[in-house]
């Protein structure tokens, strides 16, 4: 994390003020009361929260007196992205807002994601120091640095520390060495009391003594076996450790045996071969694409019968149009058939008997002659009847003509008008005939001929006077029947044509309406026409592909020849052999690096111990034998414990009186209870010890690196006078170049401060991959002369490559040593 800019709304003496920290290292100069401490407190407060104001912290809040605003913001760079961290007045350290470069806003959780496990106390202990910290350098010990290392180097160490506290609390509730009220303390005291009572009341007899002797012997066996087991466990752990290191040792040993004799090509030649390979692959790829396209065109050729199919579809389309037109005519004719059938039913309903066939013209003439041969009562009636026949025939014919025109033209008005005129004329003739009939009657001599005529022409069921009048209805009924039958024949013929046409269609089209069939045929016609166009396009595309393939073949041959010329220099013949050559070349180049990398993971002792075994199987065999010995010792312990328990039970049964038995039983029960409590207490203690060792192991590999880095810094700061730092539990020792050892208390104040700074900077630089935060130094070089100060600033410039460095000072001499100085005094004057 790097602080790029800061803006203070209100904090102590600062309000509505901006600061730029882009220089690194950044030196902030200001005399006393210029606001250096206030600015440092602001930077830490924005990251970790404002002081709560309780107790001694009430003076660490820096609440401004001349403005109501309290807080500000930092623009920081973390993980390669910019963030704006704002904090204003609020509960629990203030209200915090985090805004990323995309404008997304967050709160306390997003800030926690940025700073990780770092908190105020840990930051001030590691990344921020001043003259007060340098004064107590002689109080620094290994445990303190180890604790800081665990907090940064072990993931979730805070949760583990909390778990250790919980386990210690549970263990303390069971037992304390100097306690009296705790359960295990009380039970141990009670066990001692019971043991004293048993000794007092126990009788003396031989078997009892023998059992006691056997009990002691078994206890000795148990103690000896447990001791042997304790001695064997380190050997087992050593073998397990060697077994874990065997893969690294095996790789290191194999790398030591790699053949270094490889004929090298120059890097430019290797790059040239690789470029040629890339070009060759590109050409092969293009050729494969063209071949695939050509195969696709040949695999799915367009039908050569496209033209024939188009003609067939065009014929079917014309036939559909014809059937659609015929169907429309049939639909209109069916509407007329309904009207004809209605009229026919009306005519038949007017008579009570079935209508006979209409009379031929000769039969009509014969009937008229028969009727005219009758005796007429008044002469002149025939003349009168004859005068009325002409208009009657005109009315009947005119109505019939209008009726036919209306049906054909589908005009309902004309059809109705024609039917009314014809019907009115017929009715007029009927009533007129009735009047004539009153005036004449057939001669009796002519009656037999008339009756014979009626039987011949099926007219006997009708009155004689209606035979001529009903001929119009009979003829109309016959005509209508003929028209209905003709329409039915036309419909049947149309249905047959439609059936024959549908048989010519595919099954999917046979059940569709003619309009849908026509639409489908139109689609197929469009597809066939498109197919004809595709044939032409595909032909042109095949010609283009053939030309491109020929061109690519020439380029491939040229590139292949260039590549083979280079292959001959490397004594290889194909791409596979060249790949093997590159692998050998790379292995030879990285042999020493790989060997060193694996070798650094193995100590000299590890290599010596592992060299005793020829193979991994031999090491595993030794490990198996050791495990079998451990298992045998555990079995011996179990048997000894069983015998001891058996002797104790038998001793209890041989007691002289019930008091001894009760005491023994009570003590046995108490021993069981104590054993359970001890197990529980040991579980907590072992868990605490395991967690501590795990935390130490999780960060142990960092500790040597920190010491080496601190030794390098101390070596530079002291002009190569001191070469080694030994950080022990009791304190710090340093070794001078002449191998003389000094305690930190024996060093001058300036050298001791240089030692402390080297340790702090060594720690933060090694741990920068875990926690990379700005280093804040507050007048840390007061006791340094100009030479030491120059070396310190040079070292800070080197540290600034990984961590941001902010150096606050009241010494105006730094202005001459560095150009990147932020003058707070000048800001105050503004």
- Give the max Cα distance, the chain: 183
Predicted local distance difference test score (pLDDT) of residue 383: 42
Provide the percentage of residues in the chain whose pLDDT is more than 70.
80
How far is residue 382's CA from residue 364's CA, in Å, rounded to a whole number?
17
pLDDT at 7: 94
CA distance 516 to 508: 11
Enter the tokens of residue 729: 């539990």
Query: How far, CA to CA in Å, does 46 sit from each of 50, 83, 461, 808, 823?
Result: 7, 13, 126, 18, 22
List Cβ<8 Å contacts ≥24 apart for 757-760.
Answer: 757/129, 757/134, 757/713, 757/717, 757/792, 758/710, 758/711, 758/713, 758/714, 758/717, 758/725, 759/140, 759/145, 759/706, 759/710, 759/725, 759/727, 759/732, 760/126, 760/129
Query: What sign does the CA torsion over 714, 720, 723, 728 have?
Result: negative
Three-state DSSP state, 690: helix
The CA distance from 17 to 34, in Å, is 14
CA distances from 11 to 65, 189, 432, 642, 738 (A): 9, 62, 132, 74, 52
- The H-assigned helical ranges of 718-799 are 749-766, 786-799
| Peptide bond before residue 25 is cis, with ω within 30 degrees of 0 | yes
What are the per-10-residue average pLDDT scores of the chain (830 residues)? 92 90 89 87 90 71 82 91 92 90 90 83 78 59 51 48 70 71 78 77 60 83 86 84 82 64 70 87 89 80 57 81 84 87 85 84 85 50 47 72 73 74 73 56 64 86 84 87 88 86 80 82 79 77 86 89 85 84 73 62 80 84 88 88 82 58 78 82 72 55 76 87 77 84 80 82 79 84 75 86 88 74 79
Which residue, among 786, 725, 811, 733, has the nearest Cα to 761 in the 3D structure? 725
Return the axis-axis angle of helices 206-256 and 616-653, rounded to nearest 10°: 170
Which tokens sit at 587? Answer: 């292995």
The C-alpha angle 793, 795, 797, rounded to 5 degrees, equals 70
This prediction has a pTM of: 0.39
How many Cβ atoms are within 10 Å of 771's Cβ, its own excluded? 20
Tell which phi-psi region holds residue 615, choosing left (phi > 0), alpha (psi between -120 and 50) or beta: beta
**Separation CA 324–CA 257 (nearest Å):** 94
Question: What pLDDT, on the 0 to 100 scale, is given for residue 380?
Answer: 43
Cα–Cα separations (whole angstroms), residue 408 to 346, 402, 416, 546, 747: 20, 10, 13, 69, 135
């Amino acid at each position: 994390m790097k602080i790029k800019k800061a803006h203070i709304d209100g904090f102590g003496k600062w309000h509505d003020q901006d600061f730029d920290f882009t220089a690194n290292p950044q030196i902030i100069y200001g005399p006393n009361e210029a606001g250096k401490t206030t600015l440092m407190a602001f930077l830490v407060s924005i990251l970790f929260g404002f002081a709560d104001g309780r107790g001694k912290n009430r003076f660490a809040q820096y609440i401004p007196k001349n403005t109501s605003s309290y807080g500000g913001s930092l623009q920081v760079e973390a993980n390669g992205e910019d963030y704006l961290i704002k904090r204003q007045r609020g509960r629990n350290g203030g209200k915090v807002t985090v805004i990323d470069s995309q404008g997304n806003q967050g709160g306390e959780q997003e800030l926690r994601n940025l700073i990780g496990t770092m908190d105020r106390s840990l930051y001030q202990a590691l990344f921020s120091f001043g003259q007060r910290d340098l004064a107590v350098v002689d109080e620094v010990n290994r445990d303190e640095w180890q604790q800081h290392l665990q907090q940064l180097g072990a993931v979730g160490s805070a949760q583990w520390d909390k778990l250790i506290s919980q386990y210690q609390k549970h263990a303390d509730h069971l037992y304390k060495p100097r306690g009296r009220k705790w359960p295990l303390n009380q039970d141990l005291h009670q066990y001692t009391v019971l043991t004293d009572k048993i000794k007092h009341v126990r009788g003396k007899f031989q078997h009892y003594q023998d059992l006691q002797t056997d009990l002691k012997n078994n206890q000795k066996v148990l103690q000896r076996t447990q001791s042997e087991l304790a001695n064997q466990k380190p050997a087992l752990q050593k073998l397990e450790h060697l077994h874990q290191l065997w893969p690294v040792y095996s790789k290191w040993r194999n790398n030591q045996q790699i053949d270094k004799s490889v004929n090298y090509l120059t890097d430019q030649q290797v790059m040239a071969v690789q470029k040629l390979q890339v070009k060759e692959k590109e050409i092969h790829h293009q050729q494969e694409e063209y071949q695939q396209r050509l195969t696709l065109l040949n695999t799915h050729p367009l039908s050569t019968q496209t033209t024939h199919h188009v003609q067939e579809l065009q014929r079917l389309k014309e036939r559909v149009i014809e059937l659609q037109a015929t169907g429309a005519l049939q639909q209109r004719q069916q509407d007329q058939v309904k009207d004809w059938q209605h009229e026919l039913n009306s005519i038949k309903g007017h008579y009570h008997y079935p209508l006979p066939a209409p009379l031929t013209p000769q039969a009509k003439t014969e009937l008229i002659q028969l009727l005219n041969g009758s005796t007429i009562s008044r002469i002149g009636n025939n003349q009168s009847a004859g005068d009325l026949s002409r208009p009657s025939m005109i009315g009947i014919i005119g109505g019939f003509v209008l009726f036919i025109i209306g049906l054909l033209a589908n005009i309902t008005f004309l059809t109705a008008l024609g039917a009314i005129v014809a019907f009115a004329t017929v009715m007029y003739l009927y009533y007129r005939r009735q009047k004539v009939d009153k005036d004449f009657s057939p001669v009796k001599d002519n009656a037999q001929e008339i009756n014979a005529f009626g039987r011949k022409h099926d007219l006997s069921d009708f009155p004689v006077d209606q035979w001529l009048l009903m001929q119009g209805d009979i003829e109309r009924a016959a005509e209508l029947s003929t028209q209905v039958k003709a329409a039915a024949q036309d419909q049947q013929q149309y249905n047959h044509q439609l059936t024959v046409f549908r048989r010519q269609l595919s099954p999917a089209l046979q059940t569709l309406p003619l309009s849908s069939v026509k639409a489908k045929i139109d689609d197929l016609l469009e597809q066939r026409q498109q197919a004809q166009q595709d044939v032409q396009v595909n032909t042109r595309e095949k010609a283009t592909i053939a030309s491109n393939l020929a061109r690519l073949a020439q380029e491939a041959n040229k590139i292949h020849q260039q590549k083979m010329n280079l292959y001959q220099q490397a004594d290889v013949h194909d791409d596979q052999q060249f790949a093997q050559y590159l692998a050998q070349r790379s292995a030879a180049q990285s042999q020493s690096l790989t060997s060193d990398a694996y070798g650094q993971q193995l100590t000299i002792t590890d290599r010596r111990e592992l060299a005793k075994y020829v193979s991994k199987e031999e090491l595993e065999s030794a490990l198996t034998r050791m495990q079998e010995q451990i298992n045998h010792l555990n079995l011996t312990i179990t048997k000894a414990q069983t015998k001891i328990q058996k002797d104790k039970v038998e001793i209890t049964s041989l007691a002289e009186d019930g008091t001894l038995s009760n005491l023994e039983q009570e003590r046995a029960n108490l021993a069981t209870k104590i054993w359970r409590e001890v197990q529980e207490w040991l579980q907590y203690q072992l868990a605490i010890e395991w967690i501590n060792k795990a935390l130490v192991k999780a960060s142990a590999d960092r500790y040597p690196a920190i010491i080496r880095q601190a030794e390098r810094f101390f070596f530079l700061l002291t002009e190569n006078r001191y070469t080694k730092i030994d950080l022990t539990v009791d304190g710090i020792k340093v070794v001078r170049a002449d191998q003389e050892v000094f305690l930190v208390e024996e060093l001058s104040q300036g050298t001791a401060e240089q030692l402390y700074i080297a340790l702090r900077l060594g720690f933060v630089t090694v741990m920068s991959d875990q926690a990379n935060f700005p280093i804040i130094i507050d007048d840390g070089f007061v006791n340094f002369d100009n030479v030491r100060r120059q070396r310190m600033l040079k070292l800070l410039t080197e540290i600034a490559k990984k961590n941001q460095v902010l150096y606050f000072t009241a010494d105006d001499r730094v202005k001459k040593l560095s150009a990147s100085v932020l003058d707070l005094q000048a800001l105050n004057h503004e």
